[in-house]
Amino acid sequence: MIFLTTLPLFWIMISASRGGHWGAWMPSSISAFEGTCVSIPCRFDFPDELRPAVVHGVWYFNSPYPKNYPPVVFKSRTQVVHESFQGRSRLLGDLGLRNCTLLLSSLSPELGGKYYFRGDLGGYNQYTFSEHSVLDIINTPNIVVPPEVVAGSEVEVSCMVPDNCPELRPELSWLGHEGLGEPTVLGRLREDEGTWVQVSLLHFVPTREANGHRLGCQASFPNTTLQFEGYASLDVKYPPVIVEMNASVEAIEGSHVSLLCGADSNPLPLLTWMRDGTVLREAVAESLFLDLEEVTAAEDGVYACLAENAYGQDNGTVELSVMYAPRKPMVNGTMVAVEGETVSILCSTQSNPDPILTIFKEKQILATVIYESELQLELPAVTPEDDGEYWCVAENQYGQRATTFNLSVEFAPMILLESHCAAARDTVQCLCVVKSNPEPSVAFELPSRNVTVNETEREFVYSERSGLLLTSILTLRGQTQAPPRVICTAHNLYGTKSLELPFQGAHRLMWAKIGPVGAVVAFAILIAIVCYITQTRRKKNVTESPSFSAGDNPPVLFSSDFRISGAPEKYESERRLGSERRLLGLRGEPPELDLSYSHSDLGKRPTKDSYTLTEELAEYAEIRVK
């Protein structure tokens, strides 16, 4: 707003031109509301030596040159004017006093334009001044808003309307100012070029909510129906405030996630998505999406949105929780322990949410925790039974993972009770079952023979390991005498254990040596004895003699050393050979794990190398039959 002094500039100019030069002054521009009037102030001067008796003047519209026949607005000599100005123009000033002020009434838009004044002093003393005034016909008040309105800082908004019509005076009022402040009317003010304006001021402290508010000013003229309104939208500058953002987000691993950040500010903010100080995306916008394709557990965390402009900044965060099945559990701890030591094993995993962790062995639960990422298993004073395979299983609603681990318990050898010796025909097999860790060395001792056989002598000993059990089998062939004493000894770095192996199934040894053929011969002899007794009884009944006669056959006695009279010499030589071969002999053969005598052995003919009582009985039976 411009406050004017009481001494108009044009009077200074007129005073300076008193020296006798042609010159004029009028406002370069002037405005008025349509339907009202306007007074265009005008002053002119001419040389003093002319001294005219009468001074006349002419106002032209849009052209200063009469030869162009411009429309005449006013002419003091004839009062003849252009039809557009008939009844609308008159001279307010006194030309004799060098005042050429013009009044135009009933303004309409077509009257807007340039107005020129021509002085007519008579004869050739006529002069058209180059100075002119441009008339603007308006329909709205002028609302002046400061170039920058910042929220929280007081501002002054003014409403200015022209007041150049002496017949009609405007009155101003504010529209839509409720909640902003009360207006102040300054009244009528004069501008630098001699025109007048009516001014009303409005002071208030804007808020961000006032941005875009439509503020109006109304100019009305009393006793008329003329009303003119003008509006201006407030452009309130304010710092960003984040108004839209995701709450905490849960997403399943592998899914698509879209994070939204929206801010309210003027001007638009620079929105930036960041994570751990790294810029992920930024743009100048009201809102900004951050799209995460196939999220992984590594993208779990806190995401920050920063909004900033020239007037301030704001930020917000959102936590993204990626839900996923447990990872393969990790097992840390002692995997090898000596019997009696304390073992501590830690099983850990990662998952979201935290899993149920369970450690079990052979389907037996040993330890479990709920919604924990670690599980500690304590085994005080471990025993060989603690040796073996363990499972650590982690599970939540999104899946299950498991890890196996082995605990190796080292201990001194133990010879199990199923260790024993057994016979089958002419073979004796000794079974020694040892449980130990680490694997022991096993040896078989025959004290009566002063012989020790270890597992390295694979011709006589067969060994097989399964887990913690070592099974060693000693095989003795050609055993015709009583089974020897066998002592099994097992040794590792934690100790030594010995056990004399018991002999199982000793009553079967005789039948094992006789074999199936011997059984047939024995059965034939039994039949012969029955027949003999029957015949003897019959003779007794006939002769009535209480005693046997000298010619009767004597009772037959069977023994293993019985010599058959009258047998061929070949049988005698073969019998001697068989007796020699019945001496102790060690022969390496594949192990026979079933050491008991079975009926499946019937029908198997003994070899010549194992000539025994069975063959002798068979030979005797053959002679008796003959």
Q: List pLDDT tens digits, range 219-231.
A: 999 999 999 999 9
For residue 65, pLDDT beyond 70: yes
Q: pLDDT at position 335, please? A: 86
Evaluate if pTM is beyond 0.75: no
Tens of pLDDT, residue by residue over 258-308, are 999 999 999 999 999 999 999 999 999 999 999 999 999 999 999 999 999
Q: pLDDT at position 48, please? A: 82
Tens of pLDDT, residue by residue over 390-413, are 999 999 999 999 999 999 999 999
Cα–Cα distance measured from residue 172 to residue 141, given in angstroms and rounded to the nearest whole number: 9
Q: pLDDT at position 294, please? A: 94
Tens of pLDDT, residue by residue over 331-384, are 987 789 999 999 999 999 999 999 999 999 988 999 999 999 999 999 999 999
Q: pLDDT at position 28, please? A: 93
For residue 153, pLDDT beyond 60: yes
Mean pLDDT of the region 231-248: 94
Q: pLDDT at position 577, please? A: 36
Q: How far is CA 595 from CA 175, 344, 589, 601, 603, in A?
A: 119, 44, 14, 12, 18
Q: pLDDT at position 298, please? A: 93
For residue 624, pLDDT beyond 60: no
Which carries the bigger pLDDT value, residue 594 or residue 332? Answer: 332
For residue 174, pLDDT beyond 70: yes
Roughly how many angstroms between the first and final C-alpha of the chain, as a whole number?
Answer: 162
Tens of pLDDT, residue by residue over 1-46, are 333 333 344 433 444 344 468 899 999 999 999 999 999 999 999 9
For residue 623, pLDDT beyond 70: no
Q: How confident is the model at residue 521 (pLDDT cuts 50, 70, 90)?
A: low
Q: pLDDT at position 11, please? A: 38
Query: pLDDT above 90 covers what percent of the chain?
Result: 61
Average of per-residue pLDDT values in the chain: 81
Taking each helix axis as running N to C, give the angle between helix 613-625 and helix 569-581, from 0 to 180 degrees, rounded to the nearest 10: 160
Closest residue by Cα to residue 481 from 526, 446, 517? 446
Q: pLDDT at position 525, please? A: 74
For residue 527, pLDDT beyond 80: no
Q: pLDDT at position 126, please? A: 86
The continuous run of DSSP H or E covering 448 comes out as none
For residue 518, pLDDT beyond 80: no
Q: Which of 197-211, 246-260, 396-410, 510-524 has the lowest mean pLDDT?
A: 510-524
Residues in the chain: 626
Closest residue by Cα to residue 390 from 347, 352, 441? 347
Q: pLDDT at position 234, please? A: 93
Three-class SS of 14-37: HHHCCCCCCEEECCCEEEEECCCC
| 26 token code pair | 């009028």
Q: pLDDT at position 548, please? A: 32
| 392 token code pair | 């650590």
Q: How confident is the model at residue 547 (pLDDT cuts 50, 70, 90)?
A: very low
